[in-house]
Amino acid sequence: MRINHSSGSDFEQAIGYSRCVEIDEWVVVSGTTGYNYTTMSIPTCATEQTEQALENIELALAKTSLNKEDIIKVNYIYPNPEDFKECWSILSNFFNEIRPAATMISAQLVQPEMKVEIEVWDKKTRKQSQSQ
């Protein structure tokens, strides 16, 4: 069964996507930026945007049976590779115990103020799947 979850972001409606999709044992969180979706504001620096993006991912996962410990793959997109290096300590603090497979891509994002986009993939464990 497929379940689509929204963060309430204006981007989801305008572009036609879901923040998070659950299907069978998989949960995928769409590329998530550093916007605060409640205020639709975004910090100016990459470190604060990275922290907000990770918080947004945790909020999306909270709508499912999963949490950050279930993340198996993460994709980072930073337009400026130097910003990625500045964020290593934030990413390490968040992912250190999990240590998912990871890829960093340097590419332009849709809005010039966006300095990071993070996508994660989760997989439900046997224990979690049985408890649903």
**pLDDT tens column, 89-98:** 999 999 999 9
Q: Which residues span the domain enclosing 100? A: 2-131
Among 123, 34, 30, which Cα is nearest to 70's? 123
pTM above 0.85, yes or no: yes
Cα–Cα distance for residue pair 129/131, rounded to 1 Å: 6
Residue 120 has pLDDT above 80, yes or no: yes
- Report the pLDDT averaged over residues 54-70: 91
Q: Give the per-residue pLDDT at 10.
A: 77
Count of the separate structural domains present in the chain:
1
- Report the pLDDT averaged over residues 93-120: 96
> Please, how many CA atoms are within 13 Å of residue 47, restricted to the half-sphere of its CB?
8
Higher-pLDDT residue of 47 and 62 is 47
pLDDT > 90: percent of the chain? 67
Place of tokens 């603090």: 93
